[in-house]
Amino acid sequence: MNNKAWEKLKGWGHEPEKTAIFTDIDGTLAPIVSTPDLSKVPEELRLLLARLARSYRIVAGISGRATPDAKKLIGLEDVVYYGNHGFEILRDGAVEVVPEAMPYADKVRELEKLSREELGPRGAFVEDKGITASIHYRNVPPEVGELCKAFVKREGERLGLRITVGRGVVEARPPIRADKGTAIRRLVEEYGPEKALFIGDDTTDLDAFRALEELREEGVLLETLRIGVKSDEGPPEIVSEADLIVDGVEGVGEVLRVLVSED
């Protein structure tokens, strides 16, 4: 399976103008570290992305983070940033929020306030990120992590928000369909590539995998590649649903090097 996918990837390098490169950021381009503020995309990957952004139809970083934060991590103007799990897009210096999400802005702020009061003193980190809320419990003992998950789930659901749990983080968002899958669909419809790949390592990335598959079945995309980044904490579906599996951020570097190569 992997060999065929590598061959396909090599072929795509010859038609960059027809090809979209979509990628998750944390755990995919930037190694996971204990404090999200400290994570960083290695310089080599950044330079590769800069080259790809010049020749490919679109290069987009699709992240759970707020878009300005996603942009800070990659640091490139030519890249489109789709953040907050499909709620927010940043390109050419302007941020757009999905309009259906706006009525929930106050509820999200209320959950952040409650979490800061209740979970902050126990060591959880409540990230300020606008239209969604992220409560990080990576640096706390497991029983406090369980408490964080239970608290955010209970209070978030009471406020009418949707709750998801990822690697060391529990997140709340407006209950409308907006995820990495809707992000991919919107970008494909807007930019019109024939081929598209997505690289990701975590649960929310599976929506992107599935959107690629649907777009191919609908004939909107002619070819797709789902690239899974294997890690100890990632869900098993990242491996089982992928067309190509790579090992960590280094493995993602190999993928990007193949895409820039003109042989």
CB of 179 to Mg ion, least distance (A): 13
CB of 43 to Mg ion, least distance (A): 20
Among 69, 112, 171, 201, binds Mg ion (CB under 5 A): 201
Instruction: Say how many residues touch Mg ion, by CB under 5 A.
Output: 5
Q: Which two tokens stand for residue 246?
A: 């790579």
Among 202, 209, 228, 234, binds Mg ion (CB under 5 A): 202
Query: Are 64 and 203 within 8 A, CB to CB?
Result: no
Query: What is the distance, to the nearest Å, from the Cα of residue 233 to the centroid of all Cα atoms in its chain?
Result: 16
- Helical ranges in 120-179 per DSSP H: 142-158
Smaller CB separation from Mg ion, 61 or 174: 61
Dist CA 168 CA 165 (whole Å): 8
CB of 26 to Mg ion, least distance (A): 4
The verdict on 24 binding Mg ion (CB under 5 A) reads: yes
Smaller CB separation from Mg ion, 27 or 174: 27
* Residue nearest Mg ion, CB atom distance: 27
Query: Are 183 and 220 within 8 A, CB to CB?
Result: no
DSSP β-ladder status, 19-23 and 125-127: unpaired
Among 13, 27, 61, 145, binds Mg ion (CB under 5 A): 27
Smaller CB separation from Mg ion, 193 or 234: 234
The verdict on 88 binding Mg ion (CB under 5 A) reads: no
Q: Is 24 one of the annotated active-site residues of the chain?
A: yes
Residues 6+ apart with CB under 8 A from 207: 179, 180, 181, 182
Query: Are 78 and 50 within 8 A, CB to CB?
Result: yes
**Short-list 118, 124, 105, CA closest to 36:** 124
CB of 158 to Mg ion, least distance (A): 28
Degrees (nearest 5) of the Cα angle 145, 147, 152?
100
Q: Which two tokens stand for residue 75?
A: 């640091």
**The one catalytic residue among 24, 69, 179, 205:** 24
CB of 250 to Mg ion, least distance (A): 15
Among 22, 26, 74, 234, binds Mg ion (CB under 5 A): 26
Residues taking part in catalysis: 24
Residues at the interface with Mg ion (CB under 5 A)? 24, 26-27, 201-202
